[in-house]
Amino acid sequence: MNVQKSLFVGVATAALMGSHAVPAYATGKDATSGGGTQQAVPSQTSQDNEQSTAAQDQAAIPDEIVVTGIRASLESAQARKRTANTIVDSIVADDIGKLPDTNTTEALQRISGIQVSRDRGEGGSVAIRGLTQVLTTLDGREIFTAGGGRGYNLQDFPAELLAGVDVYKTPTADLIEGGIGGVIDLRTRKPLDMDGLVISGSLRGRYQDLVDKVSPLASLLVSDKWDTGVGEMGLLVSGSYQERAFRSDIEAVGAPSERTDLIAGRTIVTPNGDYEPLVDGTRRRIGLGATFQWKPTPELELYAQAGYQEFRSIQQQRGLNNPTNGLSVVPGSVETFDGTDDFMRGTFQNLVSSTFGVTRDTYDKNQQYSAGFDWDKGAARLTGDFTYQHSTNDLYYTEQDLQITVPEATLDLSGKTPTMSFDGVDLTDLSNYRLGYTTRSENHYTGNSYAGRLDGDFEIDSPFLSGFKTGVRIQKMDTAFTPIRFFQPAGATSAANYSSLFETMPFDDFFFSNPTFPHGYYTAVTSNLRNDFDSVRDALGVDAEPAVDPASVYDMSETTVAGYAEMLFKVDSGLRFDGNVGVRVIKTGLSIDGNQRSTVGGVTTITPQTYDNDYVSVLPSANVRFHLTDELQLRLAASQTLTRPNFSQLSPAFTLVPAQGQGSGGNPELEPLRADQLDASLEYYFSPTGSVYLAGFYRKVKGFIFTSSNRQTIDGIDYVISQPTNGDDGTIKGVEVGGQTFFDFLPAPFDGFGVQANYTFIDSSTPSAIADYTTPLPGLSKSSFNISGLYEKYGLSVRVAYNYRSKYLSALYGLPLAGGGSQNIPIYRRGYGWLDASINYDITPSITVTLEGSNLLRTREFTYFDQETRPNNISVDDRQIMAGIRFKL
């Protein structure tokens, strides 16, 4: 971080530390925890008698103060963190649709230790303390999105349907295994926790400035409960609908290589041209949920729950691909950055440019159905749950290209945005173009899961032991992959003969109408590619049809049987402490069916392959919390965790080319990643909404998976096989510091101000595909911080949130050397910040108007090859503004 950012964090931390002199005496009720459906989330048989000073503070208040809004959310989240029996952070929505972000991933980025990637301007994947191997649960039940992996696509779940999110950074024995990074539990609301009949919802419009469109967002929740002759019943139904139009402008500079023919006597590191896609499209997110609860007696609850999430991304890409490798240059045109041998500017001759039109559409559909019971006698509790899930993921990618020869093309890397300009060609004349290649790829994934569990929780009356927990869980998961492929090579035919397939590029404002970029060129009509690909094939005179690629098909089935035992302990005298120690034992059985492709003498054969793998894992864990004072507590934790390889990595599919001695594929022999973990957290709670904390962590991960090449002999032929493999151990270590408070000691109206802030530092060392070479974890920033300025008073709620992450390693690239061979160099993504804000005003106690903004700085993301004078990728996304209303009846 630079000096300004360091000062920024320092001032915020100083404000937090200095603000606890006068405690705030507001109390609130957390009505978000619910029911008997959260069996996977750790529960405490005995809690602290929260805390003696808090009780004295409460006694001093003549009347209870009802807390709502941001304060209620912070108070509930802080209470969950403070009383949990492990290290956990939470986000809580005090009311329907009031998480601070519409995207679940973006809400998670506010938590210390979490870093998110960006996907077309919104939150994408999540890493906890540098590890992307994260398990996601919904009300304590493991959920997943089909697609070759094991995780759940958090983009699928609308944030409006959530009561909150808990992030478990250390495990307990009763937590489902599978996430060495941690567990993210999405919590929904339950009808018996609501106040009778509740009807609430929201209606908003979202404006995206680059694409210049407005999209709708709406949510609705209806919940009620009744006292009947057979007990108390409750029913809750909820739904959310979100649309988002988007646009991304991307300038990708080609990978570098060394050239000795550009400037006499010098070796110049020169990029291979550039790639200029303009991406636009729409996304639709649908979420539906229903929960029924029935308590025939005060001790027994029966429930049923159903959920459905659908995520659809419809996307077009249009632009130019301009490869320059091997092209001669105009003599004297090449310049380098000062003091380097890195190419800065130059003019290439006789460039063959490709214009492209692409459709890339993805569809996720997830269904969950659960039923169970919760029998609670106080000293003994028995819970059971059964869940069925079905998920599908479908990708449709279609591309059609044109080719055109450009006499002179100038690549200029000196400006804020690299550019490529053309001379000597008329891009507006279709007769100057030739047909390029046409391709279509479809990936179809399906997944099913059946899971049942039974858990017992028993109190123990002794000076040390306070409880015992035990349980068993059985899950059967299956997944299948079917790829469909089509490829038509480029031809020499003039594109003028196929005018119905092409149109002039519909956008003329690429990178804010930068005049240097080529304009007016032709691209494929994307509606034809998406809606009527058969007519495209007919127009081209191609009889071949898209067909299943049998070598890449696979079908896998996995059965896990897990059991755990956990002891809870508590000591109230002297140095007060409590905690748990336990062990989880899991037997995993995996069956894989796939195929292997081999080409000999021009003849391709497909051979079925079957693999089976069984193994047992023993995962101990221990968590202890010391109550140093009523406000100060220290947590220590030690545990072992695992994450199983992704299904796509386990695929037995191989493509073998004997003539070249080359092969590639998956690896069904992969072993799980396993981690030894140590954690500590010092937490100081000075008011219901005020706290500061300092946490440290260490992870030793065994068996990191990366792609490697090795020699194998198959049917008497020697091959160099590229496939994923387990590597050596890696380590991750770091610290987190943060806190939150409202400045209640200030005079009105300034007592409505508050702040949240956190900072994370992570250092890592992991094996790579290069022998005896270690790198940081890909996608991991060493430093990241969040700071939110808050104001809440007189019905007005304001939040301004800034998130920053430092540079991180994206990948390794093999730089071809002029003298032969290659040198591996890193690709880094430069650090960047993201600014969001929201304003809410309560017109009445039941109606709130909202105004929200995302990506207000319109952040540019920038990657580079080892040095910033070797740019790789520059992209810019929409600024988003939302306005609307929320209501609660």
| 888: amino acid identity, one letter | K
Stretch 840-849: mean pLDDT: 94
Residue partners of 844: CB distance under 8 A and separation at least 6: none
Show the beta-strand stretches assigned E in 323-464: 335-336, 343-376, 380-412, 419-423, 434-459
| 20 confidence band (pLDDT: 50, 70, 90) | very low
Residue partners of 636: CB distance under 8 A and separation at least 6: 623, 624, 626, 679, 680
| 856: amino acid identity, one letter | L
| pTM for the predicted model, two decimal places | 0.88
- Minimum mean pLDDT range among 297-306, 630-639, 715-724, 736-745: 715-724
| Rama region for 365: left / alpha / beta (φ>0; ψ in -120 to 50; rest) | beta
| 347-385 pLDDT, tens digit each | 999 999 999 999 999 999 999 999 999 999 999 999 999
Q: Is the peptide bond before 515 cis (omega within 30 degrees of 0)?
A: no
Residues listed for the chain: 889
Number of structural domains (the chain) is 1
State the first-to-last Cα distance of the chain, in angstroms, to the nearest integer. Answer: 47
- The backbone torsions φ and ψ at residue 196, rounded to the nearest 5 degrees and listed phi first, read 65, -140
837 alpha carbon, distance to own chain's centre: 21
Residue 502: other Cβ atoms inside 10 A: 21
562-598 burial code (b ≥16 CB/10 A, e <16): bebebbbbbeeeeebbbbbbbebbbebebbbebbbbb
Per-residue pLDDT at 727 = 79
CATH at 177? 2.40.170.20
Tokens of 848: 């709130």
Show the beta-strand stretches assigned E in 489-528: 502-504, 522-524
Q: What burial class does residue 601 get, using C-beta atoms within 10 Å of its C-beta: 0-12 exposed, 13-18 middle, 19+ buried?
A: exposed
- The backbone torsions φ and ψ at residue 885, rounded to the nearest 5 degrees and listed phi first, read -135, 155
Largest CA distance in the chain: 95
DSSP assignment of 23-34: ----B-------
795 vs 47 pLDDT, higher one: 795
Residue 49, pLDDT > 60, answer: no
Per-residue pLDDT at 173 = 96
| 166-213 pLDDT, tens digit each | 999 999 999 999 999 999 999 999 999 998 999 999 999 999 999 999
CA neighbor of 674 nearest in space, from 726, 736, 722 = 726
- The backbone torsions φ and ψ at residue 160, rounded to the nearest 5 degrees and listed phi first, read -60, -25
CA neighbor of 77 nearest in space, from 788, 670, 769 = 788
| 391-441 pLDDT, tens digit each | 999 999 999 999 999 999 999 999 999 999 999 999 999 999 999 999 999
Residue 475: other Cβ atoms inside 10 A: 20
Residue 253, pLDDT > 80, answer: yes
CA dihedral 144, 150, 156, 158 (to 10 degrees): 60
640 vs 713 pLDDT, higher one: 640
Per-residue pLDDT at 63 = 41
C-alpha to C-alpha distance for 828 and 863, rounded to whole angstroms: 5
| 435: amino acid identity, one letter | L
| 256-268 pLDDT, tens digit each | 999 999 999 999 9
Tokens of 673: 């990643």
Per-residue pLDDT at 769 = 55
Residue 889 contacts residue 195 (beta carbons within 8 Å): no
Residue 730 contacts residue 777 (beta carbons within 8 Å): yes
Tokens of 533: 């690909």
DSSP assignment of 286-300: EEEEEEEEEEEETTE
Q: What burial class does residue 612 get, using C-beta atoms within 10 Å of its C-beta: 0-12 exposed, 13-18 middle, 19+ buried?
A: exposed
SS3 content of the chain, % helix, strand, coil (to 5): 10, 60, 30
Residue 776 contacts residue 806 (beta carbons within 8 Å): no
Per the prediction, the chain carries an average pLDDT of: 88
Per-residue pLDDT at 793 = 94
C-alpha to C-alpha distance for 250 and 861, rounded to whole angstroms: 10
CA neighbor of 203 nearest in space, from 884, 889, 887 = 884
Per-residue pLDDT at 770 = 57
Show the beta-strand stretches assigned E in 298-333: 300-322
Stretch 445-451: mean pLDDT: 97
β 783-793/774-775 pair status? unpaired
Tokens of 826: 């890193």
User: What residues make up the domain containing 416?
Assistant: 3-888
C-alpha to C-alpha distance for 578 and 568, rounded to whole angstroms: 8
Q: How far is CA 227 from CA 190, 230, 234, 279, 298, in A?
A: 16, 8, 9, 55, 12
Residue 609, pLDDT > 50, answer: yes
| 532: amino acid identity, one letter | D
Stretch 729-751: mean pLDDT: 94
C-alpha to C-alpha distance for 270 and 761, rounded to whole angstroms: 35
Residue 166 contacts residue 116 (beta carbons within 8 Å): no
143 vs 654 pLDDT, higher one: 143
3-state secondary structure at position 141: strand
Residue 756, pLDDT > 80, answer: yes
C-alpha to C-alpha distance for 564 and 581, rounded to whole angstroms: 11
Residue 527, pLDDT > 50, answer: yes
CA neighbor of 619 nearest in space, from 221, 176, 268, 213 = 176
Residue 42, pLDDT > 50, answer: no
β 164-168/182-187 pair status? antiparallel
Stretch 293-317: mean pLDDT: 97
Residue 758 contacts residue 737 (beta carbons within 8 Å): yes
3-state secondary structure at position 320: strand
Q: Is the peptide bond before 749 cis (omega within 30 degrees of 0)?
A: yes
β 134-138/182-187 pair status? parallel
600 vs 175 pLDDT, higher one: 175
